Amino acid sequence: MPRQALELFIPGPTWLRPETRQAALLPEFGHRDSQAREVVSSIFDNLRAIAELPDDYDIALVNGSGSTGMECALRSLVADDDRLLCVTVGVFGALFHSMAIGNGKQVERLDFEPGCSIDLDVLEHTLRNGRFNVVTLTHNESSTGVVSDIVGACRLIRAHGALPIVDGVSLFGGDHSRIADALPAVYATTTQKCLALPAGQAILFVHRDALDKAAQVSNRGYTSDLLKHVEFGRDRQIMTTPDTTLLNQMQVQLDTIVHAEGVLQRFARHRAMRTTVRDWATARPDRFELFVADADASPSLTTVSIDPALDPAALKAAMRERGYLIDTGHKKLNDILGAQSRRLLIRIPHMGDIGPAMLGRYLDALDSESAALRR
């Protein structure tokens, strides 16, 4: 029996346009053939436009998901005797920390309260006292719906002689990457969030100085060796066999983003939907409360805390009946909030190819189902 088609309102994987699904039917190709170079060249050109990428950055595609790209950067830039700082404003900041532990790196954590962005004064104080070689940070924290000032943070990090690695997984394609101003050593992202593609490729933007650093780091691994990935990227190839179905979809979708919708229009659409969701939640104080202040609010997803009388599981079931898959919050974060007897969060994504009309229908359904459940 075919499974029910749900409209995905979760922060990745995101809903796919029919045209993106259709592109999966394009013919497969050989990954070392000239056709692969054509596809990868087109993908790189459009990624460069979406990233507003300076010339001294390389692009590498790495088979896997966002985490694969993040771990590749970490393993390749952090030597065993280096000091690494993981700046965390939520669960995904802590992911870098777990990777560092798993790879035996010497790591410290600088944690900020859930719902807050990076406090640059606190960061500066930590950098001044820590003598770190590498610092990781999250551009858009998907557990809390917070966007951080990566330009300010990366400038501080570089001023203190360290290399910044930025997780841009849930922002890239939805707003300015800010790479040109922030100058991260590596900016990592992936396909299944704001780019509205299936998962399967990590995308790395790599500054020249990351290559110099990686050359001095031993035990970078094989599939996690940034230098190899960049070498293949320069030849418009991917190091290990890619999913050519996904590459076909990437070629079509990135071309649509750059040449049909327009990059700036796409960014503006994400920001307009953020306003829509925030206004919607603010108008329903009986059930929803914004978790993040205006200044720190993510352009790609909005977190709201819900009335304790609302059971997230019941809401999810009711919305499924309406054809939607909703997000009932990041489990790790809700576990923390629950233990502190605080209200639980749900996340309302407005990323990728979700448009204002589709979002409006979703919010109407969420409104009526949440109202019905409280009665």
Ligand X SMILES: *Cc1c(COP(=O)(O)O)cnc(C)c1O
Binding positions for ligand X, rule: CB under 6 A: 12, 65-67, 92, 95, 138, 140, 142, 167, 169-170, 190, 199
* Residue number with CB closer to ligand X (202 or 363): 202
Positive or negative torsion for Cα 305, 307, 312, 316 = negative
CB of 162 to ligand X, least distance (A): 20
CB of 138 to ligand X, least distance (A): 5
* Residue number with CB closer to ligand X (79 or 197): 197
Q: Which residues pair with 289 in a beta bridge?
A: 305
Going across the sheet that includes 83-88, the strands are 57-63, 201-207, 186-190, 163-167, 134-138, 83-88, 106-111
* Residue number with CB closer to ligand X (126 or 144): 144
Compute φ and ψ for 209, nearest 5 degrees: -70, -20
* Residue number with CB closer to ligand X (14 or 370): 14
CB of 82 to ligand X, least distance (A): 22
CB 330 within 8 A of CB 141: no
CB of 172 to ligand X, least distance (A): 10
* Residue number with CB closer to ligand X (66 or 242): 66
* Residue number with CB closer to ligand X (253 or 370): 253
CB of 291 to ligand X, least distance (A): 16
* Residue number with CB closer to ligand X (46 or 190): 190
The CA-to-CA distance between both ends of the chain, in Å, stands at: 35
Q: Is 16 exposed, middle or buried (0-12, 13-18, 19+ CB in 10 A)?
A: buried
- CA dist list (Å): 28 to 191, 201, 298, 306: 19, 16, 37, 46
CB of 12 to ligand X, least distance (A): 5
Short-list 117, 137, 144, CA closest to 300 = 144
- CA 239 – CA 32 distance, rounded (Å): 10
CB of 289 to ligand X, least distance (A): 22
* Residue number with CB closer to ligand X (95 or 310): 95
Count CA atoms within 13 Å of residue 347 on its CB side: 26
Positive or negative torsion for Cα 108, 113, 118, 124 = negative
CA-derived radius of gyration, the chain: 21
Query: Residue 164: enclosing H or E segment and its boundaries?
Result: strand 163-167
308 DSSP assignment: T
Count CA atoms within 13 Å of residue 25 on its CB side: 4
CB of 243 to ligand X, least distance (A): 14
CB of 13 to ligand X, least distance (A): 9
- CA 60 – CA 165 distance, rounded (Å): 15
* Residue number with CB closer to ligand X (67 or 126): 67
CB of 189 to ligand X, least distance (A): 9
Count CA atoms within 13 Å of residue 284 on its CB side: 21
- CA 40 – CA 66 distance, rounded (Å): 18
* Residue number with CB closer to ligand X (66 or 114): 66
